[in-house]
Every structure is written in C-alpha cells, then in structure tokens.
Chain A
C-alpha cells in the first residue's frame, strides 16, 4: 500500500544517483587500508616464520641453561651443551632494575607534573621537552650513559650503569604515558575525595593512582619490552657481548640477549645463524610475555568493578 503511494508521488530518492560513484570510492579506500594492514602483518609473519624455521630444533633446555661456546657443535642437540643462559639472566636483571627505576621516576614525575605543578611556562617547557626526548635516538642515550654513569659516577660497564641508561631512554615515554593515564582520571572523582576531607596525598593515593594504574602499567611494560631489545645504548655503555656467567651483582659486568645474538650473528661459521635465530626466539618470547602481561593488566583492571 505504502509502496503504491510512494510511486504515485514524486520519487523521494531523486538526486541520489551520485551514491554509486561515492560507494565505489569508499570500496577502493577500504581496499587500500586493508592492503596497508596486510603489508605489516605479512612482514611480521614472514619474519617470525623465517626465525622459527632457522631455529627449529635449536631452542632446547640446554640452550636456556648453558653459557655460550665458541664451537657451533656444542649448541647442537646432543652436543656438550651451550646456550644463552648468562645473557638471558643478564637481560632479566637489567629489565627488572630498569623497571624499578622507571616506575619510581616516571610515576613520580607524572604525578608531580599533573597534580602538583601549576600550569606555567616552566611546566609547559618541561612537558614539551619530555615529549621531544622520547624521539631522541637510543645511541645518544648510550653516549649520555657512558659519560654520566660509566665515567662520572664510576659505575663502570656494570649492570647498574646499563639499567640507568635504559631508564633514561624510556623515561620520557613512561612519563608521557603516565601523564595521560592520570589526566584521564575524571575530576569528579578527585572532587568526591576532596569533598569528604581528603588531603592532596590521599586523593592521589586513593583515587588518582588506582584509576591511572592500568594505563601506567601498560605504558611502562610496553616501553620496557622496547628496552629489552635495545642494543645500541648497551654497546656504548660497554656491556659484554658474550659472558660465561650471569651477573653476580648490580656493579658487576653483564651480557644481554641482543648483544649475545649480535655476537652469534657475526660469527664466521654459518651454523651460528641457527644459534642466533634460537636466541631471537628466546628474546621474542620474553618480549611477547611482557606484552601479554600488559594486555592482561589492562583487561583485568578494566573489567574489575
């Protein structure tokens, strides 16, 4: 019935003939976007497939628990046993120390800038520079670490010097991520706490930090997983490329996985390519585990309450 009416009146959809053309443009656009997404995914898949293929059979329990060796045969399954153990432990200690420093300094700085510092030229200047620092190449931080921690503070090429250098490297990103998380806490929540007589500190402790924590943690973990793969700053600081024992103290020398992998990759014996690939698999596993933790934390806190 209504159909009949529509037909009898003038066409209500007159003047929409351009829609077909627009829809075609829309489809082309979607296609381009999908293709772009595909490039990234395909590259990643190929990379991982290649590494897995190269390392197939080389990632063994011995590989995880033995120090490296100059002889490729030692790494072979059933060989004398050689692997990544000191660098794996070194990387984990390095990241743990870095995490400690970054969380304390990064959250502290972000809380100060967001909750205490009054909005003036100085804070605006500081914030702009923090954002700029996030873009400085990591080798520059390596130089800085060498000058300050290794030389001036006489920490030598130690685990502590490495951790402090990596802290400098990721601190700007952690500060910015934490600031954003803190800024996202609604003012109404702060007012609620102030309204019942909370002090600044209580508001931060009870309202701001709990709400901002998931954001702070994801930002921190993601930058830490970036730091664990960094090589350039560690080279500058003078970390060992290859060590036979894990670091025994924060002031002792250390090797880290990226440098150990680099060491293997530059070995003349082609068999070491498999060893390097096995090292990459271990590094990527640690990295993915960290990212998974970040995702888990975000998910966990978002669904809670």
Chain B
C-alpha cells in the first residue's frame, strides 16, 4: 500500500520541486563529480568560445547571453534574458533543477552534447566571480 502511494507522489512532485542551492554548493557539487577543482578562467574561455559543434544558429553561449554576464541578453525570439551573474541577478544559480535544465538545453544547442561536470563547475565559478 505504501508503495502505491509513494510512487505517484514522487512522479508528480519531482519536476516542479524547486531545489534550492547556491553558487558555492553548485561548484562543490560539480567539482566533486568531476574529480577536480573548478577553474573560473577556463569557465570564461568556455563561455566566450565559438563552439560551432551544435545547432547552426547558436554557436556560443554569448549568442544569447552576450559577452558580459552582468548585462542582460536576448533570446533569438527577441525576448530579454536577465543577467546570469549572481551579482547582477540574485535569483541565478539558486535552483538546481533550473540550472540543470538550462545546462541540458543550452549545451545541446551550443555544443551538440551535454556539458561535463568539469565544464559546469568552471562556468559556475566564473559566473559567480563576476
């Protein structure tokens, strides 16, 4: 009986759940997963690079977020995207499910693959240092 009740509850609750986190929690989590320390400098190069291995309209993270994570970006639809740097936008990097969802999408769009834990650690470290 317990079994029957728990399973549907989990299925419904999980996706909507806002798992609260912080930039430092994320750095710790991703660098533990990667087995190495985060490197903000590497995160910066990664973010600014033209990868070109993903979808043709989105060669770089800067396509939508601009080169400055403290300024607002623009989605390809024209819609404004609030800055990514936590110093400019306190809501950033505070919700694990949201961060994971956007890494999944944006890495697929830009790189044509998932980002590694190391890449995520580096990007978060750079964004948090801005």
The judgment on whether A and B are partners is no
